[in-house]
Amino acid sequence: MRSLLRTLEHATLRDIALVCLADALVGASFGAISVSGGLPLWVPLAMSVLVFAGGSQFAAVGVVLSGGGALAAVATGLVLNARLLPFGFTVADVLQGPWWRRLIGAQLITDESAAFVLQQDDGRRRRAVFWTCGIALFVVWNVAVLLGALAGGMIGDTDALGLDAAFPAVLLALVLPSLTDRRTRTAALVGAVAAVAATPYLPAGLPVLLALVGLLFAGRPAGGAAGPEVADPAAEEPVSKEAVR
């Protein structure tokens, strides 16, 4: 772990710490909401260890607390978590190694860890930022959920404290640097419009998956498949003749 930290810049470590702080607030609110809503203490703790996906955990608990069954809660969480499938392809290069390392890495794939990986070009730094962010978030999230669950109903109305806004605000801050690229900006805009337009008509979780249609409008990198340019001797000939004159 120490070698991973030495690979990363202080600014990156600072950003990871800020993300962990924001997720700690969200995790505490999740634990408090779950227990104050009537769920046993072990339920949010087990979900945080086994599922480790804030959006899916909130969605599943919301279904249960509103009177839905366990199957409906599981289906809702699976649909919402399906968005992590393309993230897996994106960070596949950082999960090299034995099967047990890939299994642990798959559990640590989150919106935040994928976002940090996308900001890095060097392979070593991509691996370092993924494992550093993933492990830190896993520890912080589970500790925060435990503390929130123990607090129970003492927090009261978490929405009134604005804790629900911390998670999307952090993700937006991570995504903004990537939007300087025109193709990425187009894909994000199309996906956002599609998800917002479908929200009133589709069950929770499906609009997020529908946003993947934005990838169809990303286009291909200019000259990406053509390879490096090769100088054409014929094209240089007129220049040479002109130089002789």
pLDDT digits (tens, 9 = 90+) for 71-80: 877 877 787 7
162 and 194 fall within a common domain:
no
Most confidently predicted of 82-86, 138-142, 231-235: 138-142
Q: Which of residues 119 and 5 earns the better pLDDT score?
A: 119
* pLDDT score recorded for residue 154: 66
112 and 41 fall within a common domain:
yes
Is-above-0.95 flag for pTM?
Answer: no
Distance CA(226)–CA(229), nearest Å, equals 8
145 and 195 fall within a common domain:
no
167 and 195 fall within a common domain:
no
Model confidence pLDDT, tens digit, residues 149-208: 888 766 556 566 665 565 566 557 656 776 778 888 888 889 889 889 988 887 766 777
Q: Is residue 156 part of a domain?
A: yes
Confidence of residue 221 (pLDDT cuts 50, 70, 90): low
Q: Which of residues 140 and 26 earns the better pLDDT score?
A: 140
Indicate the average pLDDT of the chain. Answer: 78
Q: Is residue 240 part of a domain?
A: no
186 and 74 fall within a common domain:
no
pLDDT at 237 over 80: no
143 and 207 fall within a common domain:
no
Mean pLDDT for the stretch of residues 210-215? 80
156 and 218 fall within a common domain:
no
Looking at the structure of the chain, the number of domains it has is 2
24 and 88 fall within a common domain:
yes
Q: Is residue 239 part of a domain?
A: no
Distance CA(132)–CA(139), nearest Å, equals 11
Q: Is residue 231 part of a domain?
A: no
168 and 206 fall within a common domain:
no
Q: Is residue 115 part of a domain?
A: yes
Residue that is last in its domain, among 124, 148, 178: 178
152 and 46 fall within a common domain:
yes
Q: Which of 32, 74, 34 has its CA nearest to residue 51?
A: 74
* pLDDT score recorded for residue 227: 40
Q: Is residue 122 part of a domain?
A: yes
Mean pLDDT for the stretch of residues 29-47? 87
173 and 85 fall within a common domain:
yes
Sign of the dihedral through C-alpha 127, 19, 101, 96? negative
Distance CA(190)–CA(210), nearest Å, equals 10
Q: Which of 99, 33, 102, 93 has its CA nearest to residue 62?
A: 33
Domain that holds residue 109: 2-178
149 and 164 fall within a common domain:
yes
Q: Which of residues 44 and 54 earns the better pLDDT score?
A: 44
CA 78, chain centre distance (Å): 16
